[in-house]
Amino acid sequence: MTAAPGMRDLAHRLLIYEAGLGNTFEPIESPTTRVYEKLRRSLGEFVGAAGFQSLASRALTLARPETPSLNAVRITEDGSLQGLSEIESQFAIENDLAVEGGTVLIARLLGLLRIFLGEALTLSLLRNVWPGEALDDRNSEIGRTA
């Protein structure tokens, strides 16, 4: 079973948006790590560290069959990702394997949010983290604008 196409599209859009922000003076992180950490901080306030850790662990478990390179990734007790940067550094950022792994992981996490929180609350959470241009003009099933 693969991640829903709408969630993959949304995850891909968020990763592209974050990749465009990579020209800042902050330490260099992959777009996947930036998206994940923003979700972790935002959701951590809502469900706590243990709640996010549980959700992220399930998303990782669901993503591994689609992207076996994620087998080396672990979720720590506080919900942080461990091992993702090592996997991404093995591949060039342009490499489909690195992009695909991040997209699948984030798509699975977004899909679980949609299931457990519902579309309206998930969209509200995402809009608090990312500006409208990162979320608008897409074909995802979350928050379609009229």
**Is the Cβ–Cβ distance between 14 and 129 less than 8 Å?**
no
Q: Specify if 144 maps to a domain.
A: no
Residue 59 belongs to what domain range? 5-135
Q: What is the mean pLDDT of residues 43-70?
A: 92
Q: Nearest Cα to 30, choosing from 6, 48, 53, 14?
A: 14
Q: Specify if 128 maps to a domain.
A: yes
Q: Specify if 56 maps to a domain.
A: yes
Q: Specify if 143 maps to a domain.
A: no
Distance (Å, whole) CA 15 – CA 31 = 5
Q: Specify if 68 maps to a domain.
A: yes
Q: Specify if 140 maps to a domain.
A: no
- Please give the model's pTM, rounded to 2 decimal places: 0.82
What torsion do the CA atoms of 138, 140, 144, 145 make, to the nearest 10 degrees? Answer: 0
pLDDT at position 94, please?
Answer: 44
Instruction: State the total domains in the chain.
Output: 1
**Of residues 21 and 99, more confidently modeled:** 21
Phi and psi torsions of 140, nearest 5°: -85, 160
